Structure 1
Amino acid sequence: MAINSACNEIGQTWMESGVSENAVSGHIQLMVPGKLACFSCAPPLVVASEIDERTLKREGVCAASLPTTMGIVAGLLVQNALKHLLNFGQVSACLGYNAMKDFFSLMVLQPNPSCSDSWCLKQQEQYLQKAKAEEKNRAAVGGGEPEEDVPLHAENEWNIVVEDDPVESVPEESELHEAKNKPAEGLKFEFEQAKSSVNDDELVADSEQDIGELMSQLNNLK
């Protein structure tokens, strides 16, 4: 909470991450003072209820001790920080991860107008004023005559034409079944699947001979 208050005071953008007590889920969160929710806008239950963090430690429970989940969440946090610092890709505002179902949830947390942090409320007011000023500037700049639509490439030296893709034929049911059962890229079946149908030429005809006749024929061959 002290870091959150200090960042709100100076308007410093920062990120935080956390892993649940059972260590099977976690999240990362980007906090831009005034624009996005701070740590006090929607704090965890333990902080909101003003419960001592030492109450998390219980006998028989090893809180957040699964290194795989913590490694995944830490990697997501570092990746998100790099995208923000190097200005590439899409920076996630709030990304949740559920290890039990391999599920990711992406959301944007808006700041709370009733936040308990006074510096957060001041940053919210400054952000609204800045947004209104930018909107007025855009309206003033865009008040002139609308620009005419100009083709992206006025010259087409190589006569390149963009056409629609042809409509592909609907695959048969057998092809859909084969594609569905096809392993992912980089994997292969250790054994080939058994054929579901047998051709007539692969069947052995029944000669209706008894065992005695077959045994006599076998003895004659010796």
Structure 2
Amino acid sequence: MAESARPKIDVMSDEVTDVNPYSRLMALKKMGTVKNYEEIRLYTVLIVGVGGVGSVAAEMLTRCGIGKLIMFDYDKVELANMNRLFFQPHQAGMSKVEAASKTLSFINPDVVFETHNMDITKLENFNTLIDRIVKGGLGNKAVDLVLSCVDNFEARMAINTACNEVNQVWFESGVSENAVSGHIQLIDPGRTACFACAPPLIVASKVDEKTLKKEGVCAASLPTTIGIIAGFLVQNSLKYLLKFAPVTEYLGYDAMSDFFPTFPVKPNPQCDDSNCVRRQQEYQAKEAAKPKIEAVPEEVPEIIHEDNEWGISLVDEYVPDSEEIELAPGVKLQYTKDAQPAEENAKDFVQDTDQSLEDLMKQMKSL
């Protein structure tokens, strides 16, 4: 384990706010987009997997001025990783967490970095993961968010088990083997589905995922897709931490059709993870204990008219020229162009007459 120190973060000094290049992010506060942006320095994020998506997400959070980053990974940097972002050829042979920590500390030395070069799927290392989730935050508090950026089912299940056990909110993310699609998913134990609630196809089909890995080939290697998914992940992490906008529960991306599916994911009451079921029961009990707010029907004032001796009433006689055309869900044309030719429209305003032009001019002069 390695950890770098940095100055006290309670108050941002004038030097930080005025001179530090990262203070440019304070423009978000000045514009009213994120009113409490400086609070980002008080939060701790734990990232498991600093490969394609994880390393880019770590860099984004570092540039955003996160208070502390805890990184777990057990792989080394290889030349095959150079088709991704972040890592550099001279780092080949270094552990990914060591390489990431050195690079990120140059980008923003104001962040505290803690690294663990270990496989979390092993029992002795799994306990370390639990400990750092519970005590790894600034001030020895629990971390504020966990990001899963791993590339295998076994590691995702280990993170899922740990977060369900300690009731920790986390984001699961991934990029497909063909490198042109990916997703992020918020997992709030008890409120949303956990990773075990709906096992992926590879598990249902009982295929050993280790057989899918190819020697010397780096899957999910398009830097474009990696950057997009990492951006979605960090953007929603910021929204969750700073609470300046709704957080998506699931957001997908398909580059082949530019399709971005998003929808809520409900938990499975028959989930195989007993801690998930327990968190669901706790959440339901908490919701049931909330005071019920009955909707009060809006009172419509009675309209009283004076005596209407002549029986005059207002009637809406507007008839649209054509039916409204829906271009996309929720998008309609404000008006449609009249399909009638201009020549036919002119007939409504010009009348045929047997009078000569001279007679018409005389009538005009007499008006």
The interval holding the TM-score normalised by the smaller chain is 0.5 to 0.7
Aligned to 1:77: 233
Equivalent-residue separation in structure 1 for 2:160 and 2:228 (angstroms) = 24
Aligned to 2:363: none
Residues 1:169 and 1:48: Cα distance change in structure 2 (over 3 Å): closer
Alpha-carbon contact 1:56-1:63 (below 8 Å) kept: no
Aligned residue among 292, 305, 312 for 1:138: 292
Residues 1:2 and 1:60: Cα distance change in structure 2 (over 3 Å): closer
Equivalent-residue separation in structure 1 for 2:178 and 2:260 (angstroms) = 17
Paired letter, 2:292: R
Equivalent-residue separation in structure 1 for 2:269 and 2:298 (angstroms) = 43
Residues 1:7 and 1:60: Cα distance change in structure 2 (over 3 Å): closer
Q: How many residues align?
A: 151
1:33-81 CA distance string (max 9 Å, x none) = 0000001112322345564432221479752111110110011000000
Aligned to 1:113: 269
RMSD: 2.8
Q: Which structure 2 residues correspond to residues 181-196 of structure 1 after superposition, within 5 A?
A: none
Q: Which structure 2 residues correspond to residues 142-221 of structure 1 after superposition, within 5 A?
A: 171=337
Equivalent-residue separation in structure 2 for 1:34 and 1:147 (angstroms) = 33
Paired letter, 1:67: P
- Cα deviation, residue 11, structure 1: 1.1
Alpha-carbon contact 1:96-1:106 (below 8 Å) kept: yes
Show structure 1 runs of 5+ residues with no match. 150-167, 174-222
Aligned to 1:99: 255
Residues 1:148 and 1:98: Cα distance change in structure 2 (over 3 Å): closer
* TM-score normalised by structure 1 residue count: 0.60
Larger RCO, structures 1/2 (Cα 8 Å, 6+ apart): 1
Aligned residue among 229, 242, 253 for 1:86: 242
1:111-156 CA distance string (max 9 Å, x none) = 011111110010011111111111xx235xx69xx6998xxxxxxx
Equivalent-residue separation in structure 2 for 1:8 and 1:61 (angstroms) = 33
* TM-score normalised by structure 2 residue count: 0.37
Aligned to 1:177: none
- For the pair shown, the structure with the greater C-alpha radius of gyration is 1
- Percent identical pairs in the alignment equals 59
Equivalent-residue separation in structure 1 for 2:229 and 2:203 (angstroms) = 21
